[in-house]
Structure formats: structure tokens, C-alpha cells
Amino acid sequence: MTSAASGPPPDPKLDRFRPVVVGLQMALVVIGVLAVLSVVLPGRVSNVLATATVILLMVVPLVRVTWLAQRWLRRGDLRYGLVAVSVLLVVTAGAFLAR
């Protein structure tokens, strides 16, 4: 006879990315609200909100890549860690060259 708990055991790592998921969802909401407000509101406020929207659209993915880089390097996966660091360096070099 089988018991009700005959399935696989619970995975302790199931929610390990939950903080990242919640952070990205919050960023999505904030960016969406800023974008809508930049269209609806007039004048200087619109320009400031539009600028904030663009800045967040650039920063949020870079924060995620930074988080992945430190995670991969801390766990000893040098290949992926160096690729993530290289992406960050390319973006930094592009920002300096654009000035």
C-alpha cells in the first residue's frame, strides 16, 4: 500500500532565486509606473521621469549580471564568472568611450 507522501521529497533549493525574482518584478513595476508617468505628466517632471526610466532600464540588468558574476565566482565556476565580469567591463568601457 502506498502512502500519500510517496512523491519526491521537497527540494530545499526550490526558492533560492526568490529574492532575485522578487527584485526583478519590483523593478518591472517601478519602470512601468515611471514610464507611464513620464508620458502623462507635463514639462520638466516628464523629462526627469523619462531619464529615471532609461537609467533603471540600463542598471537593472547590470545588477543582475553582477549578482550572477559573484555567485559563479564564489562557487568556483571560473568560465561563467569571467564571462559575466567581461560583460560588465565591456559596458564600463563603452560608457567611458561614449563620454
* Total of domains in the chain: 1
Does pTM surpass 0.85?
Answer: no
- Kindly state whether residue 80 falls inside one of the protein's structural domains: yes
Q: How far apart are CA 69 and CA 9, in angstroms?
A: 30
- Kindly state whether residue 12 falls inside one of the protein's structural domains: no
Q: In terms of residue numbers, what domain contains 61? A: 23-98
Write the DSSP string, 46-69: HHHHHHHHHHHHHHHHHHHHHHHH
- Kindly state whether residue 13 falls inside one of the protein's structural domains: no
- Kindly state whether residue 81 falls inside one of the protein's structural domains: yes
- Kindly state whether residue 3 falls inside one of the protein's structural domains: no
- Which pLDDT does position 99 carry in this prediction? 86
Q: Could you read off the pLDDT of 57-68 as tens digits, one per residue?
A: 999 999 999 999
Q: Could you read off the pLDDT of 70-84 as tens digits, one per residue?
A: 999 999 999 999 999
- Which pLDDT does position 67 carry in this prediction? 94
Q: How far apart are CA 72 and CA 75, in angstroms?
A: 5
Distances in Å between the Cα of 13 and the Cα atoms of 10, 35, 45, 54, 75 are: 9, 35, 44, 34, 15
DSSP state of 40: H
When pLDDT is averaged across residues 17-44 and rounded to a whole number, the result is 95
Question: How many helices and strands, by DSSP H and E, does the chain display?
Answer: 3, 0
